[in-house]
Amino acid sequence: MEEPIPGAEERLAENGGGGGRPPRRHVRVATIVGVVLVLAVLVGFGSVALSSGTSTGSALVDRTEAPAPGLSLSSLLVPTRTISLSEYRGKGLVLNFWSSWCVACRIEMPLLESAYLSEHGKVGFLGIDTNDTRNAARDFLAQVHVTYPCAFDPDLKAASAYGVFGLPVTVFISAGGRMLGRHIGQFDATTLNEALQRAFDRSGSP
C-alpha cells in the first residue's frame, strides 16, 4: 500500500496536542490509538503490505467532504516563503505526500507533473515533502523534474493533520476546501486519471 514513514507513529504522538511534551502515559495512549487507526485502515482498504509502495487498487477512497485541515509550511525550494492551503481556495487541489527515500514516489511523481501541466492551472498541485532533509528533497525534485510547488514538512505536522502514516498518499481537496478523497500508495497513469475525474468530476463536485 505505502512505504511506512520511519518513526511516524511515535513522532505524530509527540506532535499531537501542542504546547509542550505530553505526559508519557498520554504518549502511550496516543500511540495505541494510532496503531488501532492504522489497523482499521488496513482492514478497510485491504491487506496490502505496507512496505510495498503499491496502490490499494482504488483510485479514490475515504470521501468525507469534511473541511480539509489547514496547513502553513515553508517552501521546499524557497525557505523564506510560506505556503498555506488558503492560497488554493477557489480551485481544486491535489495534495501529494512524498519523500526522497520513497521509491514509489520516484515512480509516480513524473505522472503527477504530467497531470499538473495538462490541467493548465484549473487544478492546483502541491507536494508535501515529509520526514526528509531539505537537500535530499531538492536533489530528488531535480531528478524527477517536478515543477509544481512543494512544501517542507520535516516534523510530520502536515502528515499528522492528514493521518498519513506511509508514502505516497495523495489527497484531493475541493475548491471549497473539503476532502474529496485520497489515493493510498503509488499511482499509475490510469488510476491517476480516474482519481482526477472522480474527485473533480465536471458533473458537480463541491
Under 8 Å between Cβ of 187 and 112? yes
Return the CATH architecture of domain 3-199: 3-Layer(aba) Sandwich (3.40)
Chain centroid to CA 157: 11
Domain ranges in the chain are 3-199
DSSP 3-state assignment of 122?
Answer: coil
Q: How far apart are CA 188 and CA 73, in angstroms?
A: 28
pLDDT attached to residue 143: 96
Output the DSSP codes for 57-80: S-SSB----PBPPP-EEEESS-TT
Under 8 Å between Cβ of 166 and 3? yes
Output the DSSP codes for 14-29: HHTT-SSPPPHHHHHH
- What mean pLDDT is reported for the chain? 81
Partnered with residue 173 across adjacent β-strands are 93, 179
Q: How far apart are CA 2 and CA 107, in angstroms?
A: 13
- pLDDT-based confidence at residue 58 (cuts at 50, 70, 90): confident
77 vs 38 pLDDT, higher one: 77
Residue 41: pLDDT above 80? no
pLDDT attached to residue 48: 29
Average pLDDT on 187-192 reads 96
Q: How far apart are CA 75 and CA 72, in angstroms?
A: 10
Q: pTM here?
A: 0.76
Residues 70-119: pLDDT tens digits?
999 999 999 999 999 999 999 999 999 999 999 999 999 999 999 999 99
The three three-digit cell numbers of residue 9, written as one number: 507513529
